[in-house]
Each structure stands twice: as C-alpha cells, then as structure tokens.
Amino acid sequence: MADRWRPVWADIDLDALRHNASLVSRVAGPAALCAVVKADGYGHGGLPAARAALDGGASWLAVALVEEGVTLREAGIDAPILLLSEPPVEAMAETVARWLVPTVYTRGGLEALDRVAGAAASGPIDVHLKVDTGMHRVGADAADVLCLTEVITGSHALRLGAVWTHLAVADGADATDQEFTQVQLDRFDAALATLAAAGHVPPVTHVANSAGTIAWPAARRDMVRCGITLYGVAPTRALADAFTARTGGERLRPVLSLRTRITFVRDLASGERLSYGRRRPLPERSTVATAPIGYADGVPRRLFDVGGEVLVGGVRRPLAGVVTMDQIVVDCGPVGSAPVQVGDEVVLLGRQGSEEVTATEWADLLGTINYEVLCGIGPRVPRLIHGGDAHPPR
C-alpha cells in the first residue's frame, strides 16, 4: 500500500477462487460449470474472477450486461459468455459482433436478433431460450415457448443452443420453498416435453444456481450457473454445511477480505458518546481507535446498531459509534488492557489470528444476504489481487 495514501483495501485471493471452482465442478459434475461474474465479479473484479474460474474448471462465463461481456472479450477472454437477460434491441449488433451468447424470451427480441445476425453473415448464432417457471422476473411464458422455439429453428441466422430457467427459492429450507422448487422443475420439464413432442430437443438445458447446485441434484442438468459459491460463500449456513458434506469435508474458501489500518488513537472517559447521534456511552474508560473506512466504501451504517464487530490484534472489538461516510470508531477495550497504535491492521471481513468475520455474519446481523454485502463494497476500495495470474490493483 506504499503508493496509496488511504490504508484501505480488499485482498482478493485468486487461488481460493480456483479452489472453489474446482470444488463446485466436482459437486456439479458431470454438468458443466458456468461461472457467474456479473457485477464486477460480485465486487471481486470481473476479469480476474473470470480467469481464475476458468482455470479452476469453469467452461462458461455469465454476465448480466452486454457491456460486461464486451469488457471480458476486450481482455482476451474467448470462453463462451452467456448474457443472463435478453439484450436491448440497440445492443444486438454488439452482442453478435462479440460472439456473446444471448438469452432470449420475447418475439421482438428474437426478431431483432435475427435481423442483426442475418446481416452479419457470420454463421448461426446460438441463443438460450429462458422459460419463466415461477420466478416472474424475466422469461417466456410456458404457452409461448414452442412458438419462440419455432422462430429460432426457422431462422437461418439463429440456432437453439439451450433452454433454461431460474430457481427462486432453491436455498429455502421450509416445506413451502421445497415444494415450489419442485413445481419449478416440473414446469420446466413440461415445457421441454412440449418441445420434444414437436420435434425440438435442445442440446443443453440449465436450471441450477449455487443453491440449486448444492441442494437439488435434479436441477444440475447439463450446466450449472454458480456465482456466490465461487467467491467462497454459500447462500446460507445450512447450504455451507451441505456443500462441505458433498465434498467429503473440503470447504469453500472466502476470496475477499476487507481491511484497513488505525489512523488515530485516544483514551476516553467512561460515559463518553461517540460519532453521529451519540447513540451509546462507553461502558468504562476505554481506548478508542479511528479507521478511515465508512459507508461510502460499503460498510453499512447500521452495522453499529446491530452489534457489528471488527478484528484488531486478533480480538473482536465492537464499533464505538455509528459508521460515518469515511470513518469508523472502534472500542478497543479498557485503557491499558491491550496495546493499540496507529498503523495496526483492522479486519472488517476476513480472518485475523484465530478469529474471522464473514459476509454471512454481516448479512445475518443486517437482515440481508451475503451477496449484497460483497457487492456493496464500493469502487473506491482498491482490490489487491493475489495468487497465480494476479494483476495490479485497479
């Protein structure tokens, strides 16, 4: 960090990502692994994540935006890249030019893609037809699947590469969620049966996200689309245990840790109240440390209210006041109980000594999901890439 004035960074361990991809490939096998690297690789860096996932056993990549796919292509990635939503009509030409694999689910989108692909005269473009089986976000209605398939098969410029769907509650443990996931699988199979009766058998089908890959073997089909597990975090604690059981005891390894350093230390009297709102008095005369990271960097303001802790010297320490935009204050205990000084490392997410704070811990405290925690780490936090094909901080 010698070339950076603010001592805040996220360590990205590519060896851990390769390890996770290898484990997920083993659990999913013989299904192929499609690594989801949208949203800048869930905040880990889209390009290094893509490269590490491919090294670890992924054969496909998936992104949300055409722009994300273009970035990967311009960096030299030549693996198949699936667009998880139908591209806007205005982006169809770039989709075809970059050999991205579009998801489709509307007549208008298919017709626009057919025109562009036909004009390009570069050979048939594989498309993946998405079926809405109950997520109700995007996807073709079951009644339209055959019609849309026949538009694809009737085109000289398009080819049916796959049919797929997305599970809404594969991570759910209660009976209602379990029943609904089975309903989704049944609806998907019914759509495939309709196509087969008309002579259309897609070469590939895919259904499972990370949760489906772990909990629903019947959802793995020909390919699985995994994101959060590649970054070393299972969708839920129960699924983390289930994944470890499926690997014979090998665990996912978190890829990202979030760190900073103490920039100011002072001793304050019992009863002093810190930060905006002066929410809570110090219980005794205490050493308080300031570190230069805040909610503008993705540390939720509510973390103080819900009992969030950080690691200093391998010891869990509570926040002493509300998280501000650029700084946190940490209660380091009674004066004289432990040496704390400027420059000491503070771990917000990750391991220090025998202690660890995880994205799942934050999520449980905040009433959200670990995906949001990781994706919320802001762009002004440098990502320091380690392991194998590492690249300079971005």
Token pair recorded at residue 271: 């009863």
38 is catalytic: yes
Which amino acid is it at 42?
Y
Q: What is the largest CA-CA distance in the chain?
A: 79
Q: Are 165 and 139 in contact (CB under 8 A)?
A: yes
For residues 2 and 209, give the distance between their C-alpha atoms in angstroms, rounded to a whole number. Answer: 40
Element (H, E) at 96: helix 92-97
Residue 333, φ and ψ in degrees, nearest 5: 100, 180
Angle at 238 between CA 233 and CA 242, to 5 degrees: 85
For residues 356 and 293, give the distance between their C-alpha atoms in angstroms, rounded to a whole number. Answer: 19
Angle at 207 between CA 203 and CA 212, to 5 degrees: 145
Q: Are 16 and 255 in contact (CB under 8 A)?
A: yes
Task: Identify the three-state secondary structure at position 46.
Answer: helix
Counting beta carbons within 10 angstroms of the beta carbon of residue 334, is it exposed (0 to 12), middle (13 to 18) or buried (19 or more)?
A: middle
Give the long-range contacts of residues 348-352, CB within 8 A, separation 24 or more.
348/258, 348/259, 348/260, 348/293, 348/299, 348/310, 349/254, 349/256, 349/257, 349/258, 349/373, 350/11, 350/254, 350/256, 350/257, 350/258, 350/259, 350/311, 351/257, 351/311, 352/311, 352/312, 352/313, 352/314
How far separated are the first and last CA of the chain, in Å rounded?
13
Token pair recorded at residue 394: 């971005």
Looking at 42, 130, 231, 276, which residue is catalytic? 276
Looking at 38, 42, 231, 371, which residue is catalytic? 38
Chain Cα centroid distance, residue 302: 22
Q: Which residues are catalytic?
A: 38, 276
